Amino acid sequence: MSDFDLFRINEDHQALREAVREVADEQIAPWAAQVDEDSRFPHEALKALTATDFHAPHIAEEYDGVGADALATCIVIEEVARVCASSSLIPAVNKLGTMPLILAASEEVKQKYLPPVARGEAMFSYGLSEAGAGSDTAGMTCRAIGQPDGSFLLNGQKSWITNAGESEYYTVLAVTDPDGQRGRNVTAFVVEKADEGFTFGAPEKKLGIKGSPTRELHFADCRIPGDRMVGEPGEGLKIALRTLDHTRVTIGAQAVGIAQGALDAALAYVKERQQFGKRIAEFQGIQFMLADMGMKLEAARQLVYVAAARSERGDADLPFFGAAAKCFASDVAMEVTTDAVQLFGGYGYTKDFPVERMMRDAKITQIYEGTNQVQRIVMARQLLKG
């Protein structure tokens, strides 16, 4: 396949973008500021997204989904993030939580858990990080010890879990062989919100994405039936890392959307704002800032779309492109939103305009699903492997 065929935006993708944008502008954007101010889950966005099948578009038709490809899923996330980053985490985290099942679960597990998510009856979160195991995922201490009846007793905690408490299902990674080789002694399970011994910590008080609850998961002798295992015993960390190869692309899409929203707001403002007798858009210094913002944003978008195409095909070099898309797009989002605040001047520093929220929201894209320092390690390893 030539480099010119890495991805193609077709008419269906364009129609999808227009449809999502209409939903985002009319049903999500009006609530974005209040959701941020109140630090509350965007139920209006969830209702709008499920009504239009944009809440989990990646799930295949055989599991009651719409079967959107990776690029289409990125477009959905991007367009929602353009108006509300918190709301874009609904489709993004549904993909993150279900991707381990899609990649490795038995058909029975897929048939049980994917259709409810596809139908909008439940959301799915992902439990990998712990208080002492962030970038060092193999250092986790959460344990799932096998029982004589074939079940597992889960004990420990998980940190920084997006949409915790709102989601019905959770993919949780835990050590199943404490004496086994580090990194090869972890297994993945589906945990249900109603499981006895499973509770949540208090919502974190965060800088941004305040509409998406982030909480700890706590497990105290939480019994998990053996048939809820995802993949084979000891393959959990491998499945988790394969999952991130795919879902880092969606964080890149979220970052692109946030940056686009900030650029849109900045462009509208500089065309209206007047100083020294003319619109500030006429000043060359302002134009240079806008040019750099637009150039870097478009470069980020193209990299995300290339990575999405590789995700769809399952290319061998996806680990490099997934890390690159997430890393570059999130760095661009932080830069573009910061510049947008600057273009608004003092007004940009107030909550009267959305750019300060977008700047706060952009920061997390450089941190979650692997810090950008970790992304650079991933990329370097891939390059050195050839």
Catalytic residues: 369
Q: How far apart are CA 126 and CA 89, in angstroms?
A: 12
- H helix intervals, 131-235: none
Query: d(Cα 237, Cα 173) in Å, to the nearest integer?
Result: 7
Q: Determine the Cα–Cα distance for residues 140 and 137; give it in Å rounded to an integer.
A: 6
DSSP 53-101: T-SSTTS-GGGTS----HHHHHHHHHHHHTT-HHHHHHHHHHHHHHHHH
DSSP state of 235: -
Two structure tokens written together for 125: 């979160």
Q: Which of 44, 102, 46 is nearest to 70 (CA)?
A: 102
SS3 127: strand
Distance between CA 195 and CA 188 in Å, rounded?
Answer: 16
C-alpha 138/C-alpha 281 separation (Å) is: 51
How far from 384 is each of 245, 327, 370, 375, 378, CA to CA, in Å? 18, 18, 20, 14, 10
What number of residues does the chain have? 386
Q: Could you tell me which of 109, 58, 316 has the C-alpha nearest to residue 226?
A: 109
- Whole-number Å distance between alpha carbons of 121 and 296: 38
Q: Note whether 35 and 349 are within 8 A (CB).
A: no
